[in-house]
């Protein structure tokens, strides 16, 4: 992977819908050469998917939260199975430290958060961290 590939990835992170033609101009390649590089990065698994970022508030979800769970002994397998059935859970990670799992959830309101906590309490102790606002940072970390 060279500097051109890294520049392509940085641009795609900002706008994955940019046309090959427009992107090729930004990195000084022909569109076919650019397409070949992108396909190669997809084939090697560097580019896993092209995602969209949703505004959950506009979709009726007033609360976004990170929740950590310290699972009770013997509950990991059942938790990993059940958590996949929760539509509120948008991302889930096994983590190191005192907690076992970190979740990113979108919820309609505080009552909805309480209902989720009540459902998860039988698997472990939860800690919720309600997101107040997002801090905008530069995502071009492939320098």
If you write DSSP's letter for every residue of 55-124 in order, what string do you get?
-GGGGT--EEEEEEEEEPTT-HHHHHHHHTT-TTEEEEEE-SSS-SEEEEEEESSHHHHHHHHHHHTTTE
Residues 95-140: tens digit of each pLDDT: 999 999 999 999 999 999 999 999 999 999 999 999 999 888 766 5
Confidence of residue 142 (pLDDT cuts 50, 70, 90): low
Instruction: Kindly report, residue by residue over 30-81, the tens digit of the pLDDT.
Output: 999 999 999 999 999 999 999 888 999 999 999 999 999 999 999 999 999 9
Give the model's pLDDT for residue 67: 98
Supply the pTM of this predicted model.
0.79
pLDDT at 72: 97
């Amino acid at each position: 992977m060279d500097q051109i590939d890294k520049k392509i990835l940085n641009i795609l992170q900002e706008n994955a819908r940019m046309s090959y033609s427009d992107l090729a101009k930004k990195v000084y390649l022909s569109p076919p050469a650019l397409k070949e590089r992108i396909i190669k990065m997809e084939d090697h698994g560097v580019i896993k998917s092209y995602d969209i970022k949703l505004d959950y508030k506009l979709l009726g979800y007033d609360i976004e939260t990170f929740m950590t769970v310290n699972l009770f002994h013997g509950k990991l397998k059942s938790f990993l199975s059940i958590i996949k059935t929760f539509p509120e859970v948008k991302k889930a990670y096994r983590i190191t430290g005192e907690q076992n799992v970190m979740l990113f959830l979108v919820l309609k309101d505080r009552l909805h958060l309480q209902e989720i906590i009540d459902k998860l309490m039988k698997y472990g102790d939860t800690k919720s961290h309600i997101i107040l606002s997002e801090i905008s940072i530069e995502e071009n970390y492939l320098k």
